[in-house]
Amino acid sequence: MKILTQYFSQYLIFIISIMFVGCSAPEQSGQPISPNKALETNKLLKEQKKPNIIVIYTDDMNFSDAGVFGGKVLTPTIDKLAQQGAKLNRYYANSPVCSPSRYNILTGRYASYSHSLRDQYPKSEPAFLRWNTHIEEEDTTIAELLKDSGYVTGMVGKYHNFDNEAVQLPNSEDSNARDIAVAKRIKTNYQNAIRAIKQTTEFDHIDRIYANNLHALALPKELQHHNQEWITEGALNFIDKNYDKPFYLYLATTTPHVPAPVLSMKADPRITPQGYLAKAPQVQASRESVFARTKQAGLPEEAAVMLWIDDAITSIINKLSSHNLLDNTLIIFASDHSGAHGGRGKMTNYEGGVNTPALVWWPDKIKPQQVNRLVSAVDIVPTILEAAGVNDEKITLDGKSMLPLLTGKVDKLRDEAYLEITYTRGLVTEKWKYIAVRFPSKIQKDAQSNPGKYNQEGLLKTNDALAGIVRSRYNAHELHPHYFDFDQLYNLEQDPKEQHNLANNPEYASILTDLKKRLSLYVTPMPHDFGEFKKSTESKK
């Protein structure tokens, strides 16, 4: 009788929890994430089904933007995912700026292999990596790899991996978005972008897309606002349509990237990059409640942005729960890089740009843990493929599946993580960071003769208020005194803020030599030369 009573009580709690999560008002946030314990028949069916996979990729998020990573913000659902899963403390964005970082997680390859770069630079010169890393039809994406294994694939949110000028019709910023002709062009631009992205990525479903940053979308100024609810609604629609089959969902937020998300939260909630909606989406806690909860917690108004994102993830969790999918869903959460707002590491290989908040959550498969070993963005695709049971032996990938590390089969995934952005390449190990700056031949000699003349983008970037001082785009030079050095070596254990360059210290010559050799192993197979690390026959002529 006691056993029967216990079973009945557990079953009753299960039924009540389903009703509570499924019917909870959208004003609620941060509900405990509890995988449903289905009836035995349902459980047997799920064991035979491939896992659903969701990648949530935020934009310009710092460690200070999540409570679980030490931030003074409200992010209860993100915190819960990290606490119940693997919190990745040393996850590295291989290329810390929007486009190449997204190339990494959509292809599993370093951005230097992007086919678009091969047309832009001769192979005898270093490739310049920034927003020019596009996905071409020659590139193989995660959507293509999963499609052959029975997955339905979907993308919502920010893309930023193609030359949007090719599909944009002109609109001036001061044009009226409600003008019939302007509205038609806006809609045409949006539809052209969807078609172009689908053609190159081969996602089955592409919806609620921001093809680029808001200011680059040929939108009237009045439409240059974020709309997280619109993105969330697209994700929920995708899950509703495909909950009965294995699915992969790529959800990329446009925040906390500029323009100031707080202003967008106060703007018309019907604003989207395809024009004004007839009705604002109501799929997550209201914006008013986000501000109210932020204020009640004694936090500044800007902190509401991360709670806005967190509420979106709460809605995703609730949707998965309503379809009884939580115990068969893998969620990977990461930012494309750190260091934009409140930091100065974006577009550099310094820790403030490349070391990025991330987590992996998979009930019953990955135990709660703090992961202090090195992992990187290119490891996401191999992780997804292993979880999906896809054989990747015949696929060229640059990363490694994180699952052996996260399930305790190995105690280390990699000895170093490779880094590349602008005219810099580098490696980070458990203890050391090496950064090499090498310019194209037309400026390399001048740069060597005039240290500090060029920033890491190879630009003469001066500021009238600081006459003669070269600046970095995001002012990284103000935090890193050796920003202009061609070779930089840092002991991260003793110097986590990378203030003391040891590259010219004889005591560390052997370490520098070793890291240079290891960097060559990454650079040599790549299409373009990079200083002495790779010199093709063409460059020697």
Q: Is the pLDDT of residue 44 over 50?
A: no
Residue 352 lies in a domain: yes
Percent of the chain clearing pLDDT 70 (strictly above): 88
The 10 Å CB-count burial string (b at 16+, else e) for 49-64 is ebbbbbbbbbbbbbbb
Cβ pair 77, 313 in contact under 8 A: yes
> 294 and 387: one domain?
yes
Query: What's residue 31's pLDDT?
Result: 52
| pLDDT in the model for residue 43 | 47
- CA 130 from chain centre, in angstroms, equals 15
Nearest to 52 by CA among 336, 350, 454, 363: 363
Q: Which helix (H) or strand (E) holds 385?
A: helix 380-388
* pLDDT computed for residue 536 by the predictor: 75
Domain assignment present for residue 41? The answer is: no
pLDDT in tens, 409-425: 999 999 999 999 999 99
Output DSSP code: residue 85.
Answer: S
pLDDT of residue 467: 52
Point out the domain boundary residue: 370, 388, 415: 415
pLDDT for 535: 82
Residue whose C-alpha is closest to residue 217's, from 250, 249, 192: 192
- Stretch (H or E) spanning 290: helix 287-296
Q: Are 448 and 483 contained in the same domain?
A: yes
Whether residues 502 and 475 share a domain: the answer is yes
Question: Up-side HSE of residue 541: CA atoms within 13 Å toward CB?
Answer: 6
The answer to whether residue 391 is domain-embedded is: yes
Confidence of residue 472 (pLDDT cuts 50, 70, 90): confident
- Residues 300 and 291 sit within 8 Å (Cβ to Cβ): no
366 shares its domain with 497: no
Is residue 534 one of the residues assigned to a domain? yes
First to last CA, the chain: 88
- Same domain? 383 vs 427: no
Cα–Cα distances (Å) from 375 to 86, 359, 360, 413, in that order, read: 12, 11, 12, 7
Q: For residue 200, what are the domain limits?
A: 53-415
The tokens describing 439, both together, are 């310019």
List the single range of 55-69, 242-256, 331-345 with lowest mean pLDDT. Answer: 331-345
Residue 386: burial class (beta carbons within 10 Å; 0-12, 13-18, 19+): middle
Q: How far is CA 533 from the centre of its chain?
A: 28
Model confidence at 341: pLDDT above 90: no
Cβ neighbours of 518 (radius 10 Å): 15
Statement: residue 245 has pLDDT above 90: yes
pLDDT confidence tier of residue 49, bands split at 50, 70 and 90: confident
- 3-state class (DSSP) for residue 57: strand
Amino acid at residue number 483: Y
Strands 424-429 and 416-421: antiparallel
Residues 376 and 458 occupy one common structural domain = no
Instruction: Indicate if 308 and 371 belong to the same structural domain.
Output: yes
Q: How high is the pLDDT of residue 358?
A: 98
SS3 534: strand
Domain boundary among 397, 415, 433: 415
Q: Give pLDDT tens digits for 419-461.
A: 999 999 999 999 999 999 999 999 999 999 999 999 999 998 6
Mean pLDDT of 329-339: 96
Give the pLDDT band (50/70/90) at residue 57: very high
Q: What is the pLDDT of residues 363-397, one digit of tens each?
A: 999 999 999 999 999 999 999 999 999 988 878 99
| Domain end residue (candidates: 363, 392, 415) | 415
User: pLDDT for 492-514, tens place per residue?
Assistant: 999 999 999 999 999 999 999 99
Q: Are residues 456 and 519 in the same domain?
A: yes
Neighbours of 410 (CB within 10 A): 12
Residue 29 lies in a domain: no
Residue given tokens 């703090």 in the structure block: 370
- The whole-number pLDDT of residue 34 equals 59
pLDDT-based confidence at residue 108 (cuts at 50, 70, 90) = very high
φ, ψ at 474 (rounded to 5°): -110, 25
Asked whether residue 383 is domain-assigned, the answer is yes
379 and 469 together in one domain: no
What is the distance between the alpha carbons of residues 351 and 89, in angstroms, rounded to a whole number? 12
Report the alpha-carbon distance of residue 509 to residue 515 in Å, rounded.
10
* CATH label of the domain that carries residue 402: 3.40.720.10
Least Cα distance to 229 among 198, 208, 200 occurs for 208
Residues 142 and 216 in one domain: yes
Whether 17 contacts 36, CB under 8 Å = yes
CA distances from residue 363 to 52, 83, 281, 478 in whole angstroms, order as listed: 12, 12, 30, 43
pLDDT number for residue 123: 96
In Å, how far are 121, 532, 541 from 124, measured between CA atoms?
Answer: 8, 11, 10
Give the mean pLDDT of 518-538.
91
What gap in Å lies between CA 407 and CA 10, rounded to an integer? 28
Residues 410, 429 within the same domain: no
Cα–Cα nearest to 262, from 307, 203, 311 = 307
Most confident range (mean pLDDT) of 27-31, 166-170, 508-512 is 508-512
Q: Are residues 359 and 226 in the same domain?
A: yes
Specify the pLDDT at position 393: 81
Question: For the chain, what is the mean pLDDT?
Answer: 90
Is 348 a domain residue?
yes
Q: Is residue 286 part of a domain?
A: yes
Using the CB atoms, write b or e for 439-461: b if 16+ within 10 Å.
bbeebbeebeeeeeebbbbbeee
Tell me the percentage of the chain whose pLDDT exceeds 90: 83
Q: Give the pLDDT band (50/70/90) at residue 14.
A: very low
Give me the number of domains the chain comprises: 2
SS (H, E, C) 86-123: EEECCEECCCCCHHHHHHHHHHCCCHHHCHHHHHHCCC
